Chain A
Amino acid sequence: MRNDWDDERLLVALGEAIKASEAVPSWFVETGKNAFAWHNIDAELAQLTYDSNEDKREAAVMRSERASIRALTFTSAHLSLELEVTENSLLGQIIPPRAGTLEIHTRTGQISTTEVDEIGCFAVDPIPDSPFRLRCRSADGTDVLTGWITI
């Protein structure tokens, strides 16, 4: 370290270091610690590849108009998840279609599940009001996890 620092200097620096740490709210630190729950999840990650909001913002600038449906697409190496958000519902389809179970993970660690039918369709109800991610699992070994979604 700074071997040339005198005692006063070192004490002030230490005080600053401790203060910088104390200035961080505990909920912020907790959030970071809780993230470890996602370590080593075996699921394949699906990235957001389309969000109609991105188009909508451009469109709104041009026309001051809002589309009523938001569409999102998440894509992994083996499949994609198409999502449609209307005012009251979140509908989705897995392509190519397959039956299975859909898990809805919230940041507080809660998990709820819903069925995916034979043609790959599912409904999430109610729509989570905080960020969530979807994990899709089916009998053929499919295990795909989306990035975080905020509606």
Chain B
Amino acid sequence: MRDDPQVVALVTRASGGDQDAWYELVDRYAPLVYTICIRYRLSNHDIEDVGQNVWLLLVEQLGKLREPAALPGWLATTTARECLRVVTAANKSERLGTGLDDSVLFVDDTAIDEEILMAERNAALRAAFAELPPRCQQLLSMLLSDPPHSYAEIHVELGIPVGSIGPQRARCLDRLRRSSAFAGLGEGEAKIDARGGEPGA
């Protein structure tokens, strides 16, 4: 696990009572908690239940986390445990004595590890994106929309000459690449790269 100074700072601030830091932590890692719930194929009702438990546990643990930098791992493990609790309880009450459905219960550690790496990478990318100047954010958002906007549309919307869109795109991406939010990210990335794309997407 990499030692992300941003995460450490957010945990420290939140445990000192800074609500904005807490909000930022939730924004950052809600996708991780949510994706794991989806992997366990929980209903929305159960997802809400698990989510509430996980965040409440974190609130109570904030000052006691031995390694704040390991927060994504803590969140993933706690979420998986809470999901398993919900699934096991449902299995026990609905399928008395008929045995558990192992395919539902079993989400292996490798899958969880990949979710953690993906979540860290995504959080770093979003943090870096948020640091970009508004012009870059607008341009990249238009290029990323589905379907992507054409250069002609971007020209009309943002007033950038069509011939400058390519070079500006390159400059914006370069700023993204050099952003401090990216510093240190890279360990364990090869695994995700090799698989390509997002798991379960």
Contacts and interface: CB of A to CB of B under 8 A. Distances in A.
A110 interface: no
Main secondary structure of the interface of B (DSSP, over half): helix
Contact of B122 (A20, A31, A45): A20
A2 B189 contact: yes
Interface stretch (B3-11, B53-61, B103-111, B156-164): B53-61
Interface stretch (A5-13, A70-78, A83-91, A93-101): A5-13
Given A20-B35, A23-B34, A28-B30, A1 B124 contact: yes
Contact of A64 (B22, B96, B186): B96
A3 B176 CA distance: 10
A14 B176 contact: yes
Contacts of B126: 17-18, 21
A contact residues, range: 35 or more
A139 to B, nearest CB: 26
Interface residues of B, number: 55
Contacts, number: 121
Given A3-B177, A5-B177, A16-B197, A27 B48 contact: yes
A107 B52 contact: yes
Contact of B198 (A16, A36, A57): A16
Given A1-B186, A31-B55, A18 B129 contact: yes
| Nearest 10 Cβ contacts at the A-B interface | A1-B182, A35-B55, A17-B122, A32-B26, A17-B125, A32-B55, A61-B97, A15-B144, A36-B22, A24-B34
Given A1-B185, A2-B177, A28-B48, 20 more contacts: A1-B124, A3-B177, A7-B169, A11-B173, A14-B144, A16-B122, A16-B198, A18-B144, A25-B34, A31-B51, A32-B54, A33-B23, A33-B26, A35-B26, A35-B55, A35-B58, A39-B17, A61-B96, A148-B56, A150-B49
